[in-house]
Structure 1
């Protein structure tokens, strides 16, 4: 009887110990619960957390940096502190969060937008800042602009192709980088003339209002570049109301693989679609889980990394992604991606291909 009791206590201790070791992660989602991108981002993180056994909490800041900072303060200075705080340097909030985190015991990981070179030089190295993962935003803006130009019908050498561009927030690194990529593509195609670049704050309504005015000013526009899907749909609505047919009279591009964007690509209303970076938070959790188990992230590609997640989505991929949209776990074996026990040559296979296996 004593042996059985002793064994039971050992088993209880093993189970309790494994529960106690589950790392807790708080993600400060900079978006809203109404934005398809940030909702899909959270869903992919939740799938990763389930598979990895991570205690994940997600709070939304409704695109208000002051709310992000209030949430960070509560997490870093409150009584229930997470093991890890995951956040984006959206609207450059990172230095303030780093200041709050001093001596908190919470480990910090940045996604989507990391410290700028200037911020990094001011902040310096910190033991509690364990890493960052960002997508290839600049390359994404370039790929998308190039694809739009490639798809446009040929014009006479003396003619211009007119373009409108809708970007997000001026003080958001991802918007700036996507614009830079667009400008790089335009430098290679002098026949394409950017009539105007406007900031629509990532929102459909603002892009719609701006597009109505711009279309009256520039009636010959035949290309529309947008830094996300919501703004593309807002601009598309204005052009449609003016009698212009998307995909025929004017070609639109967008970023994000929301169901609406994927369907618009299949319908031909969107001509170029870029996506894949909604997976970033899920991949970050793989690294955090490894870090909690003593893995040195520097050995496997560096702690601060940009990964080429953003890629042009073709129609076959759009169909596949629409079909998997309601799958709660995405079928990704997150545990198997771990670097634990792997040779130093191992690199995390974080890509859209891993998702679309």
Structure 2
């Protein structure tokens, strides 16, 4: 009896010790609980945390940078501090968070929008900054524009193709980079005339209101480039109201793999769709799990990395992703992606192909 009790206590102690070693992570989500992208982003992180045994908490800022800063202050200066703080340099909040984090003991990881070159120059290399993961936003904007142009019917010599572009926020690095990619593609196709670039603030309603006015001003528009799915749907609604058919009379592009965007791609209302970056937070947790176990990220591709997550998604791929969306864990074995014990030639397979296996 006493022997059984002794073994039971030892087993309980081992389980308790394992739980105690689980790293705690707080993610400051800059989006809102009404945005499909940021909700799916959190869901993928939660799937990763479950598989990795990470204690993950997520706070939403509802698109208000001052809320992000207040959340960071409480996390970094309060009594219940996480082991790791994961955040986005949305509207350039990173330098303030870095200042708050000094001597807090909390380790930092940036996703999606990392430090700008100017910010990097102002911030010394710090031991508490574990690293960053960002997507290929500039290339994404370029690929999306090139695909729209490729799909547009040829025009007679001397004729032009009218384009409207909807970007997010001027002070969001991701929006700036996607615009830059779009402009690079346009420089290669002088027959496409950008009639106007507007900032829809990532929202459907704002883009709808803007598109209603722009379509009166530019009635011959046949291409719409949008930096996310919500703005594409807003502009699509305005196009439908003037009697034109999205996907036929006007070709649309979008970024994000929300169920609505995937379905629009399958239905042909969207002609070019880019996605994959909703997985960044989950991949970041794989790296943090490794870091907590002594893995030197510099040996496995560098601690600050840009990864080509933004990829063009065709109809068949969209169908597969729609079917996969019902799987809570996304079918990814996050533990198997660890670099622990692997040769230094190993590189984390963070891509849509890993997701779709």
Q: Which residue of 1 aligns with 2:128?
A: 128
Q: Write the mapping of 1:191-230 to structure 2, written as runs, cut at 5 A.
A: 191-230=191-230
In structure 2, the partner of 1:272 is 272
For residues 241-297 of structure 1, the C-alpha deviation after alignment (integer angstroms, 9 at most, x for no partner) is 001111111100000000110111111110000000000000000000000111000
Asked if residue 345 in structure 1 is aligned to residue 348 in structure 2, the reply is no
Structure 1: distance between partners of 2:213 and 2:90: 29
How far apart, in 1, do the equivalents of 2:55 and 2:20 lie?
10
1:243 & 1:235 partners in 2: Cα distance? 13
Q: What does residue 16 of structure 2 align with? A: 16
- Measured in 2, the distance between the counterparts of 1:325 and 1:8 equals 41
Partner SS, residue 345 of structure 1: coil
* Deviation at residue 7 of structure 1 after TM alignment: 2.7
Query: Does residue 29 of the first structure (1) align with residue 38 of the second (2)?
Result: no
The alignment covers a number of residue pairs equal to: 357
Q: Given the alignment of the two structures, is residue 175 of structure 1 paired with residue 175 of structure 2, yes or no?
A: yes
How far is 1:327 from its partner?
Answer: 1.1
**CA-CA distance at 1:8 after TM superposition:** 2.8
TM-score with structure 1 setting the length:
0.99
Secondary structure in 2 aligned to 1:287? helix
RMSD: 0.8
Matched, 1:164 2:167: no
1:314 and 2:314 matched: yes
Q: Within 5 Å, which residues of 2 pair with 1:248-267? A: 248-267=248-267
Q: Residue in 1 aligned with 2:80?
A: 80
Q: Deviations over 1:135-188 (max 9, x none)?
A: 000000000000000000000121000100000000000000000000000000
Q: Distance in 2 between matches of 1:55 and 1:316?
A: 36
Q: TM-score, normalised by structure 2?
A: 0.99
SS at 1:342's partner residue? Answer: coil
SS in 1 for 2:253: strand
Match of 1:333 in 2: 333
* Cα distance in structure 2, aligned partners of 1:157 and 1:288: 55
> Alpha-carbon deviation of 1:337?
0.2
What is the rounded CA distance, in whole Å, between the counterparts of 2:221 and 2:211 in structure 1?
11
Q: How far does residue 2 in structure 1 lie from its aligned partner after superposition?
A: 4.7
Q: Which runs of 5+ in 1 are unaligned?
A: none
Q: Cα distance, 1:5 vs. partner?
A: 3.8
Between the aligned partners of 1:211 and 1:4, the Cα distance in structure 2 is 73
Query: What residue is the counterpart of 2:65 in the other structure?
Result: 65
Q: Distance in 1 between matches of 2:2 and 2:356?
A: 53
Partner of 1:43: 43
Distance in 1 (CA, whole Å) between partners of 2:117 and 2:261 is 33
Residue matched to 1:281: 281
Q: Within 5 Å, which residues of 2 pair with 1:96-175? A: 96-175=96-175
- Using the alignment, how far apart are the partners of 2:127 and 2:110 within structure 1? 14
Aligned counterparts of 1:317 and 1:353: Cα–Cα separation in 2: 11
Deviation at 1:12, TM superposition (A): 2.0
Question: Residue by residue, what CA displacement relative to the aligned partner does 1:180-217 show, whole Å, maximum 9, x if unpaired?
Answer: 00000000001001000000100000000000100000
For residue 3 of structure 1, report the CA deviation from its aligned partner: 3.9
SS in 2 for 1:346: coil
Displacement of 1:124 in angstroms is 1.3
